[in-house]
Amino acid sequence: MKKGNASPLRKIFSDKTSGSADILSELHEHLKREQKIIEALPMLVYDIKEQFKSFQNVQNYIGELEHTLIKERKLDKFFSKYDSLFENVYDKIFNNILPGLKKHDKIITLSNSRTVLEILLRLNKINRKLSVIVCESRPKFEGRILAKKLTEEGIPTELITEAMIYEKVQSVDCAMIGADAVLKNGGVINKTGSSLLALACKNFSKPFYVIASKEKFRYNNSDSQKEMPPEEIWRHHHKNILIKNYYFEKIDKELITQIISG
Protein backbone atom coordinates (compact mmCIF):
# COMPACT_ATOMS: atom_id res chain seq x y z
CA MET A 1 0.00 0.00 0.00
CA LYS A 2 1.33 3.43 -0.92
CA LYS A 3 2.12 5.78 1.92
CA GLY A 4 -0.30 8.35 0.53
CA ASN A 5 -3.14 5.86 0.85
CA ALA A 6 -2.42 4.91 4.45
CA SER A 7 -3.76 8.02 6.15
CA PRO A 8 -7.52 7.62 5.39
CA LEU A 9 -7.46 4.01 6.52
CA ARG A 10 -5.49 4.87 9.64
CA LYS A 11 -8.14 7.49 10.43
CA ILE A 12 -10.89 4.87 10.13
CA PHE A 13 -8.91 2.49 12.35
CA SER A 14 -8.54 5.14 15.06
CA ASP A 15 -12.23 6.10 15.08
CA LYS A 16 -13.61 5.06 18.49
CA THR A 17 -16.80 7.12 18.51
CA SER A 18 -18.61 6.18 15.28
CA GLY A 19 -21.01 3.26 15.11
CA SER A 20 -20.33 0.19 13.01
CA ALA A 21 -22.59 1.38 10.17
CA ASP A 22 -20.61 4.60 9.78
CA ILE A 23 -17.32 2.72 10.04
CA LEU A 24 -18.39 0.34 7.28
CA SER A 25 -19.61 3.18 5.08
CA GLU A 26 -16.29 5.02 5.41
CA LEU A 27 -14.36 1.82 4.80
CA HIS A 28 -16.44 1.02 1.73
CA GLU A 29 -15.86 4.45 0.20
CA HIS A 30 -12.13 4.26 0.90
CA LEU A 31 -11.68 0.82 -0.65
CA LYS A 32 -13.81 1.77 -3.62
CA ARG A 33 -11.52 4.72 -4.30
CA GLU A 34 -8.45 2.51 -3.95
CA GLN A 35 -9.40 -0.39 -6.22
CA LYS A 36 -6.13 -0.05 -8.11
CA ILE A 37 -4.11 -1.19 -5.11
CA ILE A 38 -5.74 -4.60 -5.38
CA GLU A 39 -2.40 -6.38 -4.96
CA ALA A 40 -2.24 -4.97 -1.40
CA LEU A 41 -5.73 -6.08 -0.42
CA PRO A 42 -4.74 -9.42 1.16
CA MET A 43 -2.76 -7.47 3.75
CA LEU A 44 -5.57 -4.96 4.16
CA VAL A 45 -8.10 -7.74 4.62
CA TYR A 46 -6.16 -9.14 7.56
CA ASP A 47 -5.64 -5.72 9.15
CA ILE A 48 -9.31 -4.76 8.83
CA LYS A 49 -10.54 -8.07 10.22
CA GLU A 50 -8.30 -7.73 13.24
CA GLN A 51 -9.16 -4.09 13.86
CA PHE A 52 -12.93 -4.55 13.77
CA LYS A 53 -13.48 -7.95 15.37
CA SER A 54 -16.59 -6.76 17.20
CA PHE A 55 -18.25 -5.27 14.09
CA GLN A 56 -20.02 -8.14 12.34
CA ASN A 57 -21.05 -6.02 9.36
CA VAL A 58 -17.38 -5.22 8.68
CA GLN A 59 -16.43 -8.90 9.07
CA ASN A 60 -19.14 -9.98 6.61
CA TYR A 61 -18.25 -7.22 4.16
CA ILE A 62 -14.53 -8.01 4.18
CA GLY A 63 -15.21 -11.74 3.96
CA GLU A 64 -17.33 -11.23 0.84
CA LEU A 65 -14.77 -8.83 -0.62
CA GLU A 66 -12.04 -11.42 -0.10
CA HIS A 67 -14.15 -14.14 -1.73
CA THR A 68 -14.97 -11.90 -4.71
CA LEU A 69 -11.34 -10.95 -5.11
CA ILE A 70 -10.24 -14.59 -5.22
CA LYS A 71 -13.03 -15.68 -7.54
CA GLU A 72 -13.33 -12.78 -9.98
CA ARG A 73 -10.26 -10.53 -9.45
CA LYS A 74 -12.59 -7.57 -10.04
CA LEU A 75 -14.61 -5.68 -7.44
CA ASP A 76 -16.87 -3.44 -9.54
CA LYS A 77 -19.99 -5.56 -9.00
CA PHE A 78 -19.17 -5.99 -5.32
CA PHE A 79 -18.94 -2.25 -4.71
CA SER A 80 -22.10 -1.58 -6.76
CA LYS A 81 -23.99 -4.14 -4.69
CA TYR A 82 -23.04 -2.44 -1.43
CA ASP A 83 -23.79 1.01 -2.84
CA SER A 84 -27.35 -0.19 -3.37
CA LEU A 85 -27.56 -1.87 0.05
CA PHE A 86 -26.41 1.25 1.88
CA GLU A 87 -28.87 3.42 -0.04
CA ASN A 88 -31.98 1.40 0.87
CA VAL A 89 -31.29 -0.27 4.20
CA TYR A 90 -32.57 2.46 6.53
CA ASP A 91 -35.88 2.84 4.69
CA LYS A 92 -36.40 -0.92 4.90
CA ILE A 93 -35.64 -1.04 8.63
CA PHE A 94 -37.91 1.94 9.26
CA ASN A 95 -40.82 0.38 7.40
CA ASN A 96 -40.41 -2.80 9.45
CA ILE A 97 -40.22 -1.08 12.83
CA LEU A 98 -42.81 1.64 12.20
CA PRO A 99 -45.83 -0.42 13.34
CA GLY A 100 -44.20 -0.84 16.76
CA LEU A 101 -42.98 2.76 17.04
CA LYS A 102 -46.12 4.60 15.94
CA LYS A 103 -47.50 4.83 19.47
CA HIS A 104 -44.18 5.78 21.09
CA ASP A 105 -43.34 9.46 21.66
CA LYS A 106 -40.39 9.20 24.06
CA ILE A 107 -37.48 6.87 23.26
CA ILE A 108 -34.24 6.14 25.11
CA THR A 109 -31.05 4.99 23.39
CA LEU A 110 -27.28 5.01 23.88
CA SER A 111 -23.98 5.42 22.06
CA ASN A 112 -23.74 6.80 18.51
CA SER A 113 -25.56 4.49 16.13
CA ARG A 114 -26.06 5.66 12.54
CA THR A 115 -28.96 3.23 12.20
CA VAL A 116 -30.69 4.62 15.30
CA LEU A 117 -30.14 8.17 14.03
CA GLU A 118 -31.63 7.42 10.61
CA ILE A 119 -34.71 5.73 12.11
CA LEU A 120 -35.30 8.59 14.56
CA LEU A 121 -35.01 11.17 11.78
CA ARG A 122 -37.62 9.32 9.75
CA LEU A 123 -39.88 8.90 12.76
CA ASN A 124 -39.66 12.61 13.56
CA LYS A 125 -41.16 13.44 10.18
CA ILE A 126 -44.42 11.69 11.08
CA ASN A 127 -44.41 12.18 14.86
CA ARG A 128 -43.73 15.76 15.90
CA LYS A 129 -44.14 14.78 19.57
CA LEU A 130 -40.97 12.68 19.43
CA SER A 131 -38.33 13.25 22.11
CA VAL A 132 -35.20 11.22 22.85
CA ILE A 133 -33.02 10.43 25.85
CA VAL A 134 -29.43 9.54 24.95
CA CYS A 135 -26.96 7.89 27.35
CA GLU A 136 -23.52 9.45 26.92
CA SER A 137 -21.65 6.12 26.63
CA ARG A 138 -18.41 6.29 28.54
CA PRO A 139 -15.45 6.22 28.21
CA LYS A 140 -15.45 7.89 24.77
CA PHE A 141 -18.76 9.79 25.27
CA GLU A 142 -19.99 9.09 21.75
CA GLY A 143 -23.56 9.48 22.96
CA ARG A 144 -22.86 13.22 23.00
CA ILE A 145 -22.32 13.06 19.24
CA LEU A 146 -25.71 11.46 18.67
CA ALA A 147 -27.40 13.93 21.03
CA LYS A 148 -25.90 16.85 19.09
CA LYS A 149 -27.05 15.42 15.75
CA LEU A 150 -30.61 14.93 17.03
CA THR A 151 -30.74 18.44 18.47
CA GLU A 152 -29.50 19.92 15.19
CA GLU A 153 -32.47 18.20 13.51
CA GLY A 154 -34.89 19.82 15.93
CA ILE A 155 -35.61 16.71 18.00
CA PRO A 156 -35.91 17.46 21.74
CA THR A 157 -33.04 15.54 23.31
CA GLU A 158 -31.87 14.84 26.85
CA LEU A 159 -28.33 13.59 27.56
CA ILE A 160 -27.76 11.43 30.64
CA THR A 161 -25.13 9.16 32.18
CA GLU A 162 -25.60 5.39 32.22
CA ALA A 163 -25.99 5.64 36.00
CA MET A 164 -29.30 7.46 35.40
CA ILE A 165 -30.80 4.74 33.19
CA TYR A 166 -32.92 3.04 35.86
CA GLU A 167 -34.71 6.25 36.81
CA LYS A 168 -35.16 7.56 33.28
CA VAL A 169 -36.54 4.33 31.79
CA GLN A 170 -39.65 4.80 33.91
CA SER A 171 -40.57 7.90 31.90
CA VAL A 172 -40.05 6.57 28.36
CA ASP A 173 -42.27 4.56 26.01
CA CYS A 174 -39.52 2.26 24.75
CA ALA A 175 -35.79 1.77 24.24
CA MET A 176 -34.16 1.39 20.84
CA ILE A 177 -30.51 0.51 20.23
CA GLY A 178 -28.36 -0.55 17.32
CA ALA A 179 -26.16 -3.64 17.29
CA ASP A 180 -22.58 -4.45 16.44
CA ALA A 181 -23.53 -8.10 15.98
CA VAL A 182 -26.66 -10.24 16.16
CA LEU A 183 -25.77 -13.72 17.41
CA LYS A 184 -27.14 -17.01 16.14
CA ASN A 185 -28.91 -17.64 19.48
CA GLY A 186 -30.82 -14.36 19.27
CA GLY A 187 -28.57 -12.40 21.58
CA VAL A 188 -26.91 -9.16 20.56
CA ILE A 189 -23.49 -7.54 20.96
CA ASN A 190 -23.60 -3.79 21.51
CA LYS A 191 -21.98 -0.95 23.45
CA THR A 192 -21.49 -1.45 27.18
CA GLY A 193 -24.52 -0.16 29.05
CA SER A 194 -26.96 -1.89 26.71
CA SER A 195 -27.62 -4.75 29.15
CA LEU A 196 -28.33 -2.29 31.96
CA LEU A 197 -30.82 -0.52 29.71
CA ALA A 198 -32.40 -3.83 28.70
CA LEU A 199 -32.72 -4.96 32.33
CA ALA A 200 -34.35 -1.67 33.31
CA CYS A 201 -36.82 -2.01 30.43
CA LYS A 202 -37.62 -5.56 31.51
CA ASN A 203 -38.26 -4.42 35.08
CA PHE A 204 -40.62 -1.63 34.03
CA SER A 205 -42.26 -3.58 31.16
CA LYS A 206 -40.95 -1.23 28.47
CA PRO A 207 -40.29 -2.55 24.93
CA PHE A 208 -36.60 -2.99 24.13
CA TYR A 209 -35.99 -2.89 20.37
CA VAL A 210 -32.77 -3.71 18.52
CA ILE A 211 -32.38 -2.49 14.95
CA ALA A 212 -29.66 -3.85 12.68
CA SER A 213 -28.96 -4.48 9.02
CA LYS A 214 -28.74 -8.08 7.84
CA GLU A 215 -24.98 -7.66 7.42
CA LYS A 216 -24.67 -7.66 11.22
CA PHE A 217 -26.04 -11.17 11.69
CA ARG A 218 -23.48 -13.70 12.89
CA TYR A 219 -23.55 -17.45 12.21
CA ASN A 220 -22.24 -18.32 15.66
CA ASN A 221 -22.48 -17.13 19.25
CA SER A 222 -18.92 -15.87 19.66
CA ASP A 223 -18.62 -12.72 21.75
CA SER A 224 -14.90 -12.40 22.40
CA GLN A 225 -13.95 -8.93 23.57
CA LYS A 226 -10.89 -6.78 23.04
CA GLU A 227 -9.77 -5.02 26.22
CA MET A 228 -9.18 -1.32 25.68
CA PRO A 229 -6.61 0.99 27.37
CA PRO A 230 -7.30 1.55 31.09
CA GLU A 231 -6.19 5.18 30.68
CA GLU A 232 -9.50 5.86 28.95
CA ILE A 233 -11.22 5.22 32.29
CA TRP A 234 -8.72 7.02 34.53
CA ARG A 235 -5.48 8.56 33.30
CA HIS A 236 -3.94 8.95 36.74
CA HIS A 237 -5.17 5.79 38.42
CA HIS A 238 -3.37 4.21 41.36
CA LYS A 239 -1.00 1.40 40.42
CA ASN A 240 -2.81 -1.02 42.74
CA ILE A 241 -6.25 -0.37 41.23
CA LEU A 242 -7.19 -2.81 38.50
CA ILE A 243 -9.11 -1.04 35.75
CA LYS A 244 -11.12 -2.93 33.15
CA ASN A 245 -12.25 -1.25 29.95
CA TYR A 246 -14.43 -3.07 27.43
CA TYR A 247 -16.48 -1.27 24.79
CA PHE A 248 -18.99 -4.04 24.07
CA GLU A 249 -21.15 -6.58 25.89
CA LYS A 250 -23.76 -9.24 25.19
CA ILE A 251 -27.48 -8.63 25.64
CA ASP A 252 -29.38 -11.88 26.23
CA LYS A 253 -32.24 -12.81 23.93
CA GLU A 254 -34.67 -12.90 26.87
CA LEU A 255 -34.21 -9.15 27.41
CA ILE A 256 -34.96 -8.18 23.81
CA THR A 257 -38.53 -7.44 22.72
CA GLN A 258 -37.75 -7.63 19.02
CA ILE A 259 -34.84 -7.46 16.57
CA ILE A 260 -35.81 -5.52 13.47
CA SER A 261 -33.80 -5.72 10.28
CA GLY A 262 -34.28 -4.71 6.69
Mapping DSSP onto H, E and C, the string for 183-204 reads CCCCCEEEECCHHHHHHHHHHC
- Per-residue model confidence (pLDDT) at position 192: 94
State mean pLDDT over 176-181: 95
Instruction: Tell me the average pLDDT across 61-85.
Output: 85
pLDDT score of 46 more than 80: no
Q: What is the pLDDT of residue 198?
A: 98
Helix (H, G, I), strand (E, B) or coil at 227: strand
* Residues tagged active-site: 180
Element (H, E) at 175: strand 174-177
Is the pLDDT score of 259 beyond 60?
Answer: yes
Q: What is the pLDDT of residue 236?
A: 84
Return the CATH number at 110: 3.40.50.10470
Range of the domain at 192: 90-260
Question: Are 46 and 119 within one domain?
Answer: no
Same domain, 95 and 75: no
In this predicted structure, what is the pLDDT of residue 174? 98
> Per-residue confidence at 37, pLDDT binned at 50, 70, 90?
low
State the maximum Cα–Cα separation within the chain, in Å, rounded to a whole number. 55
5: confidence class by pLDDT, cuts 50, 70, 90: very low
> Band of the pLDDT at 171, cuts 50, 70, 90?
very high
Its pTM stands at: 0.84
The reply to whether 46 and 142 lie within a common domain is: no
Given this model, what pLDDT does residue 3 score?
A: 42
Q: What is the pLDDT of residue 2?
A: 41
User: Is the same domain home to 176 and 61?
Assistant: no
What is the mean pLDDT of the segment spanning 148-152? 97
Secondary structure, 3-state, 120-140: HHHHHHHCCCCEEEEECCCCC
Spatial separation of the C-alpha atoms in residues 84 and 123, rounded to whole Å: 22
pLDDT band at 41 (very low <50, low <70, confident <90, very high): low
Residues whose CB is less than 8 angstroms from the CB of residue 79 and which lie 6 or more positions away in sequence, other chains included: 28, 31, 32, 35
Please say whether the beta carbons of 162 and 137 come within 8 A: yes
Same domain? 103 vs 80: no
Of 98-102, 153-157, 194-198, 203-207, the poorest mean pLDDT is in 98-102
Q: Do 189 and 67 fall within a single domain?
A: no
CA distance 205 to 150: 26
State whether 173 and 246 are in the same domain.
yes
- Per-residue pLDDT averaged across 22-36, rounded? 84
% of the chain exceeding 90 in pLDDT: 57
Residues 114 and 81 occupy one common structural domain:
no
Q: For 80-97, what is the mean pLDDT?
A: 89
Residue 33: is its pLDDT beyond 50? yes
Select from 85, 101, 131 the last residue of a domain. 85
Q: Are residues 173 and 202 in the same domain?
A: yes
Range in 62-66, 69-73, 131-135 the model is least confident about:
69-73
- Domain termination site, one of 53, 85, 117: 85
